[in-house]
Amino acid sequence: MRFGDLMPASFPLMVKPVLLIALAGTSAAITWQVQDWRYGSRLSEQSRLHTETLNQLNQASAAQQRAEQDKRLALEQRLATSEQTHYRALNDAQRDQGRLRDRLATADLRLSVLLDATTGGANGSVSATTATGGVVHGPTRAELDPAHAQRIIDITDDGDRGLIALAACQSYAKEVSVLRKLDN
């Protein structure tokens, strides 16, 4: 006797669909697993590429930020140097003006102005009288009152400070405009 003879007649009819369903289910499960592996590898590759792209963008952003910081530091250094130069020029001018004021106050120096040659009797010729220190040739000069000389020195001091400040402003504006051109 065979094994198939021992089974009831309806059993083989029921076993075939169950076997077909089991075969189809196994086939579906295997296909599902293969698809999972394929999509998993695609997703991991896509994730890796995305991470690499983000890293490259971060590095580019950091490099650009460093470049901007370097530009800013260079500009700050140039402006500081320019400021020191102009500050030194202002101090030198003030020191020179102070010395000049001191020399005027001690009568070490007298300011004089040229007189119009047509108003004097000399008419541009050699002076008839000589000073005790030597022979004076040239145009006739008149000494200024020390108070007036002091006011003239104050005015020129203010003018010198203004010119130095103007040069500092022009230098600053030039540096900033050069920087803006580089940014564009």
| Least confident residue range of 55-69, 113-127, 135-149 | 113-127
Alpha-carbon gap, residue 156 to 139, rounded angstroms: 24
- Spatial CA neighbour of 175 closest among 66, 92, 164, 183: 183
- Spatial CA neighbour of 144 closest among 129, 130, 155: 155
Alpha-carbon gap, residue 69 to 67, rounded angstroms: 5
pLDDT for the residue 160: 84
Most confident range (mean pLDDT) of 41-45, 163-167, 175-179 is 41-45
Structure tokens at 87: 């500050």
Q: Percent of the chain beyond pLDDT 70?
A: 80
Report pTM: 0.47
- List phi, psi (to 5°) of 55: -65, -45
Residue 122 has pLDDT above 60, yes or no: no
Helix, coil or strand: residue 141? strand
Every domain of the chain and the residues it spans: 3-183
- Region 11-16: mean pLDDT is 76
- Spatial CA neighbour of 122 closest among 135, 133, 138: 138
Do residues 114 and 140 make contact, with C-beta atoms less than 8 angstroms apart? yes
